[in-house]
Structure 1
């Protein structure tokens, strides 16, 4: 999804070392938006997962899930999708294919 962002696009993330307060505020705001609660702290998430919530907020809460999915899927070819498909989807498609074969 990050690859679909135009050059110089994406969320404006303060540098953690140069401005730790602004970075912390950005991350806290993203956590609250992602978890849909002003009280959310994201205590069960790793630091990396919390930082990804900034991107989740940008991709899906700021622009809309369908729009983002359509944009990303239209920018990759079928081979790229097949190569990077999560295992759970491969299992689902295998089951569907198997059921369709038994119906014919």
Structure 2
């Protein structure tokens, strides 16, 4: 979607992509304006933690809905996964520390 030369990700966006790639579950609201990370909180429950990088990564085309929301589901929460462009970006992206800055 966005060319590699113009794509500039923050460290938190890179870490979020890496966590998503490693299997961490994220939920994005149907209107794509708010997201939560589902952190384990006991043997059978999860605790929702705000994930502000996910809506930005969605707008950049680096994450996508597992099942796209239907019309009228703007306030429902839906699981997201890393897209093909996101996989390419996570392999190429380096944090400031990794670049030596």
The normalised TM-score by structure 2 is: 0.23
Larger helix proportion of the pair: 1
Relative CO higher for 1 or 2, CA cutoff 8 Å, sep ≥ 6?
2
Larger strand proportion of the pair: 2
The normalised TM-score by structure 1 is: 0.22
Q: Which has the larger radius of gyration?
A: 1
